[in-house]
Each structure stands twice: as C-alpha cells, then as structure tokens.
Amino acid sequence: MKRLTPKKKIGLVVVMTGHGKGKTTAALGMILRAVGYGMKVCLIQFVKGDLFAGEYEGLKNLKGLVEHHLIGKGFVGIMGDTHTFGEHRETAQQAVKLVKEKLVSGVYDLVICDEINNALQLKLIDLAQILDLLTTKPAKTHLVLTGRDAHPEVIAKAHTVSEVVERKHAFHEGIEPQEGIDI
C-alpha cells in the first residue's frame, strides 16, 4: 500500500456539528485512524458520563495510545438528570482545564473534546474558553470539537467543519437505543 505523507505537518482544528447522529462516532473513527499511524490521542468527554456506551470498553483496548477522560455528569436537564446546573458547570470547567493541560503537554498528536459545543450552548463553559483552547493548541496538534450548534466563531477558526444532518432516526419510531449502534 502506498502511504501518503504531508510535506508539512499542520495541526488541524476539526469541528463535527449538527443535529444528526454520528458526531462522536466520527471522532472515534479519527481515533482509530490516528492509532493506525501510532499517534497519541486524548479524548475528553464534556457531557456524557452516567450512561454506559460500548466505546468506553473499546477504548480500553487501545490503552497506551488513547487516554480517555469521561468528565461529564450526563445529559443536562433531561433523562432523569439529578445534578444541579452548578455541578454540571463545575465538571465542564474541569474538562476545559484538562484539555488545556493536555494540549500544552506536547504529548498528544490528537485531542478530542467530545460534546464541547453542547457544553458551550448549555452555558457550562464560555466561548472565550474555547477560543483560548484554539490559540493554545500547539501548531502540530490536531484538535477536534464535537457537539451540536457549534458557535459561528469556532466554525470560522476551524480548518474543517462537517455538519451531520438527521434525515431519519429510529428513536422517532419508538425504537430504543441499540447496543453497538447508538450506545
């Protein structure tokens, strides 16, 4: 197989946004691709946290190449959420601090901030904090930001932006989330 290597390595900012299913899944695909190149990856999840998902177990198999931090306390204000807004904001603030630490460490080739766009939309973090992460990011480190409703300023500063559009979802047909597909 022929391997393409860029003449100049540039750390990209990638935004995965939209209301369709697949933003986190796309980021997990980037993890798989990066690991295939022997890259060191850090995944920090801002919102998810109290609901099991199959990728948590799968990521354990990539130990040594992927560092995973499940920071969030779960979905905010829905699905039986028992945490206060203050508790959610405190954990999101911890996640932002952790992202910054991981970026400046120089250890990681790829840092993924899963559901960070949602955290901003929910006012768990502030736009200035995301913009600070974009300017803090080392020149050769890739940074991926996922979640619905990415802020226009974040989109403007990104190198690549993909929007996932929902056309149809099994949930609307009364089908519960399915293991290996949804959770």
Domain positions in the chain: 13-164
pLDDT at 58: 85
> At CA 31, angle to CA 172 and CA 156, rounded to 5?
75
- Predicted confidence (pLDDT) at residue 77 exceeds the cutoff of 60: no
Residue with tokens 């986190």: 24
pLDDT at 52: 67
Look up the pTM and report it: 0.92
Contact 138, 106 (CB under 8 A): yes
d(CA 90, CA 131): 19
Q: Which run of H or of E encompasses 89?
A: helix 85-105
d(CA 175, CA 183): 13
Mean pLDDT check: name the lowest of 15-19, 45-49, 57-61: 45-49
Amino acid at 181: I
Mean pLDDT of 113-122: 96
pLDDT at 17: 98
Fold annotation for 13-164: Rossmann fold (3.40.50)
pLDDT at 60: 86
Mean pLDDT check: name the lowest of 24-28, 47-51, 82-86, 121-125: 47-51
pLDDT at 81: 62
pLDDT at 50: 63
Q: Are strands 142-146 and 110-114 parallel, antiparallel or unpaired?
A: parallel
Please provide residue 166's backbone torsions phi and psi, each rounded to the nearest 5 degrees.
Answer: -85, 125
- Predicted confidence (pLDDT) at residue 80 exceeds the cutoff of 70: no
- Predicted confidence (pLDDT) at residue 152 exceeds the cutoff of 60: yes
